[in-house]
Amino acid sequence: MITVSKEDYLKAILEAEGEGEQVIAARLAHWLSVSAPAVTMALRRLKRDGLVAVRQDGRVQLSAEGRKIARRLAMRHHLIERMLHEVFGMAWYKVHDEAERLEHAVSSDFEAMLSRKLGRGGPCPHGNPPTPEHPDLKRKRGLLLLSETQPGSRYAVQSVYERDRKLGEFLEKLGIRPGAQIAVHRRNYDDTLSLATAAGKVSLGHTAAERVWVALADGSHASPKVTLTTV
């Protein structure tokens, strides 16, 4: 029997993989805000059910069946986020937490209705695809982290880390959201970035900048749409 708890663990493993992280018990405890003994017990049950394997070095891997379940739940979460944002107008940085609560309650019939209405291929409000995408694949598509950008260029925000609502609220106030354009003015001595966004002249620290994926905007070396002045 696939319980809500098992689904949560499987999706967390899939999401951690998508962030390029090594999936170990300690990482799952952090992601799910549970104790180490609770993770140990959960992994034991998942192994017994043939949903995960735990390597000798402690890394956790999804089995084919475990990955299928995790991807199905991730797709449901994705559709709920899009429904909340596109249909009901909920702010992009709020929808993840709400979808976490709703994803287990949605029936397969309702999921099918959402899929027909919204389509299954579009990005979520954070700019992310239906299932987590490894950083290596993002880089192959020409994306880079905002923390890696070069001064004097203009970038389009592609996606934002979605598991931290406070981060989303913070970035929104700075005009940094999926679809927004950002002009990078300067990299400061303390590794903060001086930026120009629709919100004006802003400064962003390295930790937050590592949570935002961007792409070089067309004509980025021409005069940017936002005004660059000394910050």
Q: Evaluate whether the domain defined by 4-67 bears CATH number 1.10.287.130.
A: no
Confidence check: pLDDT of 204 > 50: yes
Q: What is the DSSP letter of 216?
A: E
Q: Do the domains 71-118 and 139-216 sit in the same CATH topology, yes or no?
A: no
- The pLDDT value recorded for residue 223 is 39
Structurally, what CATH architecture does the domain formed by 71-118 represent?
Answer: Orthogonal Bundle (1.10)
Alpha carbons 32 and 160: distance in angstroms, whole number: 20
Domain spanning 139-216: CATH superfamily: Ferrous iron transport protein A (FeoA) (2.30.30.90)
- The pLDDT value recorded for residue 62 is 96
Give the long-range contacts of residues 1-7, CB within 8 A, separation 24 or more.
2/69, 4/104, 5/42, 6/42, 6/45, 6/46, 6/49, 6/51, 6/69, 7/69, 7/70, 7/73, 7/104
- The pLDDT value recorded for residue 31 is 85
Domain range annotation of the chain: 4-67, 71-118, 139-216
Please report, for residues 24, 29, 59, the alpha-carbon distance to residue 56 in angstroms, rounded to integers and kept in the order given. 11, 19, 7
User: Mean pLDDT, the chain, as a whole number?
Assistant: 91
- The pLDDT value recorded for residue 220 is 58
Taking residue 150's Cβ as centre, other Cβ atoms within 10 Å add up to: 11
Confidence check: pLDDT of 67 > 80: yes
Q: Nearest 5°: CA angle at 216, between 215 and 219?
A: 145
State pTM to two decimals: 0.88
Confidence check: pLDDT of 88 > 70: yes
How does pLDDT run across 102-156, given as a tens digit for each residue? 999 889 999 999 999 998 888 999 999 988 899 999 999 999 999 999 999 999 9
